[in-house]
Amino acid sequence: MKKASWILIGISATLIGLYPLIYFLVDRRFGLLASKSAELLSDTAWNIAFYGHILLGGLALLIGWLQFSSALRRQRIKIHRTIGKLYVIAVLISGFCGLYIAMHATGGMISILGFFSLGLVWLSTTILGFKAIKNGNIALHQKFMIYSYAACFAAVTLRIWLPTLTSIMGEFIGAYRIVAWLCWVPNMIVAYFIVRHTNRSDKTSSAQRV
């Protein structure tokens, strides 16, 4: 089950991680951009932030799941570290760009708060995870990065929840306001239980060694 879940996450992350390339291949007035005003779509600062967010966020999603491979950490630690540095840089750029575009989220204050909170959680957990490994605290680093990637994975869960709720509710705006929170809060709850399970496993391993 653990391996199957990891593979499923990898496939989902790869598909959505490559998704931003579509904006360069077809008319970009589709998907979420169809709900944006012509004025916003012509705003230079917003466009820089938008493309910075989706391209670097896509990269973070695309490479982040590899970091949870125990085989990679054991056998290719240099590759693990290189991917980790690239992930942190991608998150910092995408995250701060995300905070900016969150201020213009469709659906008003409910959507703005949801996506802005997600950006803060993603940035803070990533920075704390990076600081932990710089201080040599591997266990704390792993736990923060679980939360970080759970926030990053909101890109996948958003694209599952949004069409589902839009179909059920029969309208986009109401569904989008809910998804602004639903795309990441459950992810963090799942991450909490994963971290909790990891803590128990670590304690069991320590007790057995003693």
For residue 197, the model assigns a pLDDT of 84
For residue 207, the model assigns a pLDDT of 45
Nearby residues of 9 by Cβ (< 8 Å), 6 or more positions away: 65, 153
For residue 206, the model assigns a pLDDT of 44
- Within 10 angstroms of residue 137's Cβ, the number of other Cβ atoms is 14
Domains plus CATH for the chain?
2-26+42-202 (1.20.120)
In this prediction, the residues of the chain whose per-residue pLDDT falls under 50 are 205-210
List pLDDT tens digits, range 89-106.
999 999 999 999 999 999
List the one residue out of 119, 139, 128 whose CA is nearest residue 88. Answer: 128
Cα of 178 vs its chain's centroid, Å: 17
